């Protein structure tokens, strides 16, 4: 499901998503909605559960324009997952990466 469709279907909610499809550059094209709620702590607890169960790329977004903020670390996780990046020692690296400087 595209993000704009998620926002239309679940207005003013926190949404727990996982990538469903990526393009050739590794960016997410479609998302799978894992859950939604208006209570941030419930969604955060569910995200932690999914991550413990092996769905490490579960992310939280808010579909509200104001008043329903997402924690900064969760926002950063969304952008890393969206762009197919991972972080080592505070440095974000695009995956797949090549060693030796050539792509």
**pLDDT single digits (tens) 3-49:** 999 999 999 999 999 999 998 888 899 999 999 999 999 999 999 99
The residue-averaged pLDDT of 60-80 equals: 93
HSE-CB at 4 with a 13 A cutoff on CA atoms is 0
Under 8 Å between Cβ of 82 and 94: no
Q: What is the pLDDT of residue 100?
A: 45
Q: What is the pTM of this model?
A: 0.81
Q: Where are the domains of the chain?
A: 3-94
The rounded percent of the chain whose pLDDT value lies above 90 is 69
What would the pLDDT profile of 81-93 be if each residue is shown by its tens digit?
Answer: 998 876 555 555 5
């Amino acid at each position: 499901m595209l993000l704009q469709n998620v926002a239309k279907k679940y207005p003013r909610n926190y949404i727990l998503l996982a990538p469903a499809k990526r393009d050739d550059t590794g960016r997410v094209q479609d998302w799978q909605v894992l859950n939604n709620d208006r209570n941030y702590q419930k969604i955060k607890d569910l995200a932690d559960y999914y991550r413990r169960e092996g769905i490490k790329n579960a992310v939280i977004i808010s579909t509200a324009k104001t008043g329903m903020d997402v924690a900064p670390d969760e926002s950063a996780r969304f952008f890393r997952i969206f762009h197919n990046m991972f972080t080592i020692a505070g440095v974000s690296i695009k995956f797949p990466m090549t060693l030796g400087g050539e792509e």
